[in-house]
Copies of this chain bind each other. A is one copy, B any other.
Amino acid sequence: MKPAITRIHAIEHDPGSPTLADVAQLAGVSTATVSRCLNTPDRVSEDTRRRVLDAVRQLGYAPNFGARALASRRTDTFGAIIPTMEAAIFARGLQAFQDELGRHGITLLVASSSYSPELEEEQIRALVARGADALLLIGHDRTPESYAFLAKQRTPHVHAWTFDASREFQSIGFDNGKAMARLTHKVLDLGHRNIGLISAPRVGNDRARQRCEGVREALATRGLPPDSLRLIETPYSIANGAAAFEELMSQDTRPTAVMCGNDVLAAGALSRARKMGLRVPQDVSVTGYDDIDIAEIVTPALTTVHVPHRAMGRGAARMLVAMRNGEDPGPSVELEATIAERESLGPAPVTPGH
């Protein structure tokens, strides 16, 4: 009879992951003691602790996160949703974010939204459902439902990569438009009057929108007609940047300077320029935005807007930790984005391209 029972047991109860109870049994203590060993080791006698930890190791026990979260109502996990993982635009900032969180014993979960507010909303729900105690969001463009959801869930969140004093939201970043305007003024100072702009799709991307607006504003400030600007919108990728550049340069009035909403697009523009036999910056100037790694290694090195990636990541982490702890995160903070002057921007050619 006994074998039969054992058999049935073996069939019904798949000996899956070891549980607290397994450890307790092996160590000859109660589950409560095991739990204490893991969470508040000082409240357990040296002796039993050793025994329990041995059992833990022996079984390869790992606490079940779900059960733990369920019981303790806290996960020590933060989430971040970035538009893309592929372009490396957010990599450095995210790394800084993660480093700072690590310092507080917090784990980071990352999801990407592919620049789609709808997808982002899904990711927000997924991350919160997974128990994220707080969320890092990029920019301000998202569905109203996202905000309603966050509010109902009372999930602390900060907006990074942007700064908008008019918003009621906690944010840390820089004025995307202001920096772009400053760069545009530099371009104009160099005599350029026909300007091309390659932007990422602006819908659902306030940074892209603000960067475009920055250019427009600068143009307006200098009394230049709006149609001195040729704008192409295209998703972030080197290939798209290249194609957009070529299109820009095939128009009857060629721009003498092509500004890009992003270093990735600019890198594409640069490589296509070379392929087209155009010298940069002698024949045409190119500028970028973000100052990611490739900006420096591309030829010629890219004149671009330097973004304070690390400071944003670190700052966002600190704010979020404060909020999670019920402390005051302080006001939104505006960081400075500066112009990194390198080689791809030069004076306008005397005879503009035809």
Give CA–CA (A131, B77) in the complex, Å.
13
Q: Are B126 and A66 in contact (CB under 8 A)?
A: no
Give CA–CA (A66, B128) in the complex, Å.
11
Judge whether A178 is part of the interface by a CB distance below 8 angstroms. no
- A110's nearest neighbour on chain B, judged by CB, is B110
Give CA–CA (A152, B67) in the complex, Å.
19
What 1/0 mask marks residues of chain A from 125 to 168 whose CB sits below 8 Å from any chain B CB? 11011110000000000000000110111100000000000000
Give CA–CA (A353, B94) in the complex, Å.
42
Q: Are B294 and A60 in contact (CB under 8 A)?
A: no
A60-B148, A293-B294 given; 15 more Cβ-contact pairs under 8 Å: A16-B154, A59-B152, A60-B151, A66-B75, A86-B92, A86-B95, A107-B111, A110-B110, A238-B297, A267-B294, A267-B297, A271-B296, A294-B297, A298-B299, A299-B299
Q: How far is the CB of A138 from chain B (nearest CB, A)?
A: 15
Q: Are A62 and B128 in contact (CB under 8 A)?
A: yes
Give CA–CA (A98, B268) in the complex, Å.
25
Judge whether A322 is part of the interface by a CB distance below 8 angstroms. no
- A145's nearest neighbour on chain B, judged by CB, is B57
Judge whether A65 is part of the interface by a CB distance below 8 angstroms. yes
Q: How many residues of A contact B (CB 8 A)?
A: 57
Query: A66, A112, A274: which has the most chain B beta carbons within 10 Å?
Result: A66
- A267's nearest neighbour on chain B, judged by CB, is B297
Q: Are A130 and B95 in contact (CB under 8 A)?
A: no
Judge whether A17 is part of the interface by a CB distance below 8 angstroms. yes
Judge whether A21 is part of the interface by a CB distance below 8 angstroms. no
Contacts of A305 in B (CB 8 A): none
Contacts of A17 in B (CB 8 A): 152-154
With A238-B296, A271-B297, A293-B238 as contacts: A149 and B62 at CB distance below 8 Å: yes
Judge whether A18 is part of the interface by a CB distance below 8 angstroms. yes
Binding site for B on A (CB under 8 A): 16-18, 59-70, 73, 75, 77, 85-86, 88, 91-92, 94-95, 98, 107-112, 125-126, 128-131, 148-149, 151-154, 238, 264, 267-268, 270-271, 274, 293-294, 296-299
Contacts of A151 in B (CB 8 A): 60
Q: Are A60 and B149 in contact (CB under 8 A)?
A: yes
Q: How far is the CB of A125 from chain B (nearest CB, A)?
A: 5
Q: Are A126 and B149 in contact (CB under 8 A)?
A: no
Give CA–CA (A199, B68) in the complex, Å.
42
With A271-B296, A297-B294, A299-B299 as contacts: A65 and B149 at CB distance below 8 Å: no
Contacts of A125 in B (CB 8 A): 62
Give CA–CA (A67, B130) in the complex, Å.
10
User: Which of B18, B70, B107, B270 touches A297 (beta carbons < 8 Å)?
Assistant: B270
Q: Are B298 and A129 in contact (CB under 8 A)?
A: no
With A70-B64, A70-B70, A154-B17 as contacts: A298 and B296 at CB distance below 8 Å: no
Contacts of A64 in B (CB 8 A): 69-70, 129, 131
Q: How far is the CB of A149 from chain B (nearest CB, A)?
A: 5
